[in-house]
Amino acid sequence: MRKRTFLGFGAMFLVSQGVAGGVSAEESSEPNWQLTFEDNFDGTELDTDKWRIDIGNGFFDGDEYVEGWGNNEKQSYQEDNVRVEDGRLILEAREEQTSDEHGDYDYTSGKILTDEKFSQAYGRFEASMKLPEGQGFWPAFWMMPQDDVYGGWAASGEIDIMENRGSHTDEVGAAIHYGDLWPNNTYSEQSYDFPEGQSTTDFNEYAVEWEPGEIRWYVNDELYSTKTEWSTKYGEYPAPFDQEFYMILNLAIGGWYGGDPDETTGFPAQVEVEYVRAYEDADAEHPPPGEKIDPEESDEEEDEGPEPVDETKNWEEIGENLIEDGTFDTTTEFGDENGGSTWNVFNLADHDPNGGKADFAIVDGTLQAEVSQSGWNWWQIQLMQDVSASAGTYKLEFDARSDESRTIRTELTGAGYRLVDVDISEEWETHEVLLRAEEPGDFTVLFGLGNDSDDPEPAVPYDIELDNVRLVEVGEDGESSAPADPNESDNWVESGGNLIEDGTFDETAEFGDENGGFTWNVFNMADHDPSGGTADFSVVDGELKASVTQVGWEWFHIQLMQDVAAEAGVYKLEFDMRSEEARNVRAELTGAGAGLKTFDVDEEMSTYSTYLNVENPGDFTLMFGLGRNQSDVEPAVPYDMFIDNMRLVPVVEGEPEEEAEQPEEEQAPVFTPPGNGASFSVDEDGNWSIHTPNGKEVTPGGGKQTPPGHEKGKGKGNGKN
């Protein structure tokens, strides 16, 4: 449930997959839950020492009255729609007319909250609820901050324990809202699908367990979502979810979430609640809320990315066009924000009816976007294409025009570069933007066609047209600006010792988790999302054995890791590996900017190697990704993978003296990486994050979320980007 229309996004629409990250939850065997609030709805009246009843169709934001609760809801909450009978709370929706000084309403319903009566930071919050079926019903169990420590909605956060569209009795949703004040807020969500034979019209227990840096969602004690990535502009992580929140139960009618009632909707309809309880971990010592920060008074300047490319230099094309169908000759349909097609589009109006909206089509060989709602942020209408690129400087070139002169935005999402404004007019013009990819990776060419809040508002509807989109690597005077690829040389000679501790797995007896703690650490997404990748790690006969029982849908779902400190220079990564099922395996020295390497591994134990260029000294993590990308062949599970003789050694160019006296022997080839790697980042605390296709960022093991942005080889010496 929302206090106002939710919207916030970063450069890309983000649907959280329940990924772990951020500050880890406090570790203990089991929380020592102690009851702090309970209402079993005994008696015949609502206990007003625990609850108050909300009245009306909106709220005041300062001097402004916000009708429809900011969500275009149709009901007026009334005291008469709340009752207690037969040991249950009843919130009843009725089709009946009522009015107040703000307007006339065709529906009434019920809403109660513990505001100013009970609030708590951290703990377990649960309710057993039976929900109504019907188009236009929007029942919810949710939480809001008691004191708005970090400012108004949603800078101080919101926790949606459960919300449901009455027309969808087979699923419920979970969400958190955070980031900034409306309309610049953002949110992450996850849905739960009921098993066959169960539905929202039965009694089900909905719960969250909330600890510093982690919130977990349950239905009938089944964990289905874990969220750790959030922020607020006005406080330090784990703000805003570090303050006391109160609980809310309501049954809304209409609004953006599920639409308005129709002729099929049956009235009256009820939410029934058997109990509401809250607990705290009696053994936990939680920190108090942080202090509110005024960003305007901060001495730190916002990081907009690297400095712009010097346009005065002589940039000449040195690569091929990376854009597929930039002339729109073969495109017939578009994917959505989750991909699926050559060109993909996003409209916020698909999620918030007030958001930006455009109809995309190909007309006479050009891309036409008919804008019918401009929105209030540039990212609310997007045209996107995923590309793989090596590190280097690129020219994004395209033809564009608009019925209304305006500014559009473009960026190479995930490359760490800044957003670029481009002014377009009624006349066709060719535009050029210079961008730089600091590391090889999978990125997204993004055109933001929404209207920013500071832009003049053009009259709608109007058309924007694009054609001849090209993304080409350029070099100053025709010379590439990308760092030299060490795999292009076969004259590397080892110059130091192995940086890997126990690479032969002779001493390893147990493993740490994504937060470290041991020589070798592991991560399984299934520990945070039941459908994610998982493997059992052990050491058998001096080899690392990973028994994969669930492959997941991203390569990083299963990981083997070791922290290493390395100076600047070139390093050789070498290891032996086999898999009972032939498949791809990824490896990266995360944070070093050397790119993701992919190896084709089969049933034969073989030695694999690749060279990594570390530009700056630092503390890094050698990480092997044993999960499966959606584009990979799906192997049958369960199966085992084995790794041994792991080495990471510094190398220098040159020929070993003794080799001059030896007869020539055929050398195993070292594959030249094409630059198709993932982008990783490491913050000052050593937390790392993965930037995945379509601009998503996930943090499998302790990193804070930043705004948005991966993959092949078989046999000896074959390590690809």
**CA 532 centroid distance within chain:** 15
Report the distance separating Cα 313 and Cα 317, nearest Å.
13
In the chain, what is the straight-line distance between the N-terminal and C-terminal CA atoms, in Å? 44
Query: Radius of gyration of the chain from Cα atoms?
Result: 28
Between vectors from CA 720 to CA 717 and to CA 721, what angle results, nearest 5°?
Answer: 150
Catalytic pick from 158, 209, 465, 711? 158
* Buried b / exposed e along 475-484 (16+ C-beta atoms within 10 A): beeeebbbbe
Report the distance separating Cα 197 and Cα 574, nearest Å.
52
Q: Name the β-bridge partners of 492.
A: 653
Count the neighbouring beta carbons within 10 Å of the beta carbon of residue 221.
8
Report the distance separating Cα 108 and Cα 92, nearest Å.
8
Report the distance separating Cα 61 and Cα 613, nearest Å.
54
Question: What one-character DSSP code corresponds to residue 181?
Answer: S
Which residues have C-beta within 8 Å of that of residue 22, sequence separation ≥ 6? Answer: 213, 214, 228, 229, 230, 237, 238, 687, 699, 702, 703, 704, 705
Report the distance separating Cα 114 and Cα 249, nearest Å.
9
Say if strands 315-317 and 462-476 run parallel, antiparallel, or are unpaired: antiparallel
Tell me which residue of 404, 419, 421, 413 sits closest to 465, measured CA to CA.
Answer: 404
- Helix (H), strand (E) counts: the chain: 0, 44
697 given a catalytic annotation: no
158 given a catalytic annotation: yes
SS3 content of the chain, % helix, strand, coil (to 5): 5, 45, 50
What is the dihedral sign for C-alpha 77, 81, 82, 87? negative
Burial of 538 (0-12, 13-18, 19+ CB in 10 A): middle
Backbone angles phi, psi at 267, to 5 degrees: -120, 150
Catalytic pick from 73, 92, 163, 588? 163
Question: What one-character DSSP code corresponds to residue 657?
Answer: G
Count the neighbouring beta carbons within 10 Å of the beta carbon of residue 239.
24
Question: What one-character DSSP code corresponds to residue 427?
Answer: S
92, 110 contact by CB (below 8 A): yes
Catalytic residues: 158, 163
